[in-house]
Amino acid sequence: MGHEQTSLSPADARVLTRTAIGAGSSSSFSSSSSSLTSSSSSPLLPSHRFFSTSTLKASPFYAIPVHYLRRKGVLMVLLCMGVIAYIHYQFLMPSPSSSLFGVGGRMGGRGGDLKSRGKSGSGTNGDEALDYSKLDLGDIRERPPVGPAPVDGVDEDGFEILEEDRVRMMDLPDPASESKQQIIGPSRRPTIQFNADPSKEGIINLSGGLERDRQQFVKGMIQHAWAGYVQHAAPHDELKSVTGDKMDPLHGWGTTLLESLDTLKLVGLESEYLAAKEMFLKQVPVHNWGVGDSQDRKEGSIDAEASGQDIGFFESVVRYLGGLLSIRELESKDKNLKDDPRILQSAVDLSNRLVMAFQGVNGALPASRIFANGTLGSNEVLFGKTSLAEVGTFQLEFRKLAQLANDEKYSTLAQRNADFLSSLKPKIPGLYPAYFDPEAGVGQEYVASFGSLSDSFYEYLLKSYMLTNDDKFKDQYIVAVDAMHQYLISRPSKKSEPYLVLGVYNTATRTLVPKMDHLSCFAPGLLALGSRVLDRSKDLAVARGLMETCVLSYKNSATGLGADEIAFLVSGGGHDEKIGTGTTDILNKGKEFEMPQPTGFYVLDSEYELRPETVESLFIMYRVTGETKYRDYAWAIAQSIEKNCKTKYGYSTLANVMDISEGMTDRMPSHFLAQTLKYLYLIFSPPDLASLDEFLFTTEGHMMSYPIPFKDA
């Protein structure tokens, strides 16, 4: 249940302005403490150069006695008027750079005044720890309705208006029009990234030096991983990085080959990129996306082996379709490359196979598996049920394909799915079951989380809004995040601790389990992104706390790498024993947690899977705030990967982050090149490379430009 909209009292505003989050660590991850910052401590001022009521009442210069002016004559009257006008113009009227939003406002420096953060750029000068229990997590400032911009390319509330939008402002298309339902198009949008001005304090000069060295170090990691895959595993799905063998866990279509393409292009490995693209495209006619010969399909003569082949809808969308669309987007922005129609055609061919999955409830929910003969299969792991992420993570890919291919078939399916999911009535508005029976609906007793089986559904609510400007996605996201604040956030019993836990809530027992899987570490980045897009400053405060917890799981392990799942002690209950030895009282209650010593957490799953979620959030946190400590955290992680995971052929997953002697597990997943190394490279790169103000990153780290432009009727 979400909070109602509220506004900050002056006292609360002062607390938020001077409050810092967390304390630094003495390890290699240490940095100055982060904080909530304010663009201005001034009261809210109008954006126009007119006198406001508050200004009139506050100014002593308007209280000059009239009888005094009469006694001194007309000359004195004119002189006084001139002095008053000069003083008001110089000192009382808001300048164009004044904060338009008061506390936490946008103008006057995104993420707060850079100078107020000190040399590290990490926050205000306050030393008081943030009391999360006092945060009003329902404070939302809605974006104003569309209107013309009064001055300097921004509207009256500080949102940027793109040049091509100015003409459209006078005559917007009807959002309810069925012919324009897919694409509602760009209007005003706030700037997401911090102002990367090297002349400002706390911003490293990006033209060289330390960050350049770190960037090139990560580029070397990419080259090593790619060379091992190409030489020993391509065009198969993945490399077995200890033995130098190959494996095909994802249909055998060359997952790593395709998913690495946008990474290779971003880092400037152009010859490797072109060779890899040709290698992948040569394989497409061979596997034909698992369909077999189209004529055989028409005649019904598919052999038993072909008819038994199946593909997974979710993985095919986020990895293959997303990868193809990302290449198409990047190539379209490269003036040195001619348009390659094979990329888009491959995306269309694959998607025409994927649309076969929509034969279930009202044609709104895709099946988990599609066989070559057109029959569908369910998720065997979930015993026929479907996960929230499975059925809700294709909005971006299908809508972008509809734009590029000029075919509304894909956007129609996406819209039907969005309408169906928004019509569900979960027990907690905004929080859906991690898995459910698509025929029976969501039910009243379920487990809700932002982690495994659910994560990308919530991620795509915000990003679908960014892509389409459809307010329905924005409204759903706000309700979901408000519910997350109320039901899923566990706070430290020691108020001075900077950590927060994004747990798992059971509606039947009404308990919060204070544990996090690595997948849920995408949430700090999502909240930080949403804090800029929707002007929700308190989401950024919670993002900071969650980010510190995700980093803690790395820096306090024996290898400097994060376990796949960790848990915490419930405040006032439980004892210092590991989960799995019969202890269950650790996993109840859960609104407050304690940190068991010496690591601060329990390890539930000790494997390290080369996952990207923590470095993804570090990348977004840095791009949003400009705080250099997030780069330092990322650098420590990169060094730990190099030290503990590097092999002769690439990089390998680990069996136990707490005990390196247990060895490697001989796998280099495709997401390592597609996401983990990509985000590590970008965090040390100039912010205009893959800017968050230009590109969305899908759940698999692939890129698409946004928003979708207006579509003519």
Q: Residue 269's closest CA among 237, 307, 225?
A: 225
Q: Is the torsion defined by CA of 270, 275, 280, 284 positive or negative?
A: positive
Give the CA distances from residue 405 to residues 343, 345, 463, in Å, rounded to whole numbers and listed in that order.
11, 9, 20
As a whole number of Å, the end-to-end CA separation of the chain is: 39
Residue 90 per-residue DSSP state: I
Please check if 255 is assigned to a binding site.
Answer: no
For the beta carbon of residue 95, count every other beta carbon within 10 angstroms.
9
Q: Are 658 and 557 in contact (CB under 8 A)?
A: yes
359, amino acid identity: Q
Q: What tokens does 615 get?
A: 């470095």
SS3 435: strand
Residue 440 per-residue DSSP state: T
- Interacting residues of 680 by C-beta distance below 8 A, sequence separation 6+: 218, 221, 615, 619, 634, 637, 638
For 200, half-sphere exposure in the C-beta direction (CA atoms, 13 angstrom radius) is 20
- Interacting residues of 94 by C-beta distance below 8 A, sequence separation 6+: 45, 46, 47, 49
SS3 552: helix
Phi first, then psi: what are they for 370, rounded to 5°? -125, 125
Q: Residue 375's closest CA among 428, 308, 314?
A: 308
Tokens 């066989």 -> residue? 371
Q: Residue 113's closest CA among 102, 129, 127, 124?
A: 124
Whole-number Å distance between alpha carbons of 394 and 182 = 14
For the beta carbon of residue 559, count every other beta carbon within 10 angstroms.
19
Task: Indicate the annotated binding residues.
Answer: 699
Task: Indicate the annotated binding residues for Ca(2+).
Answer: 699
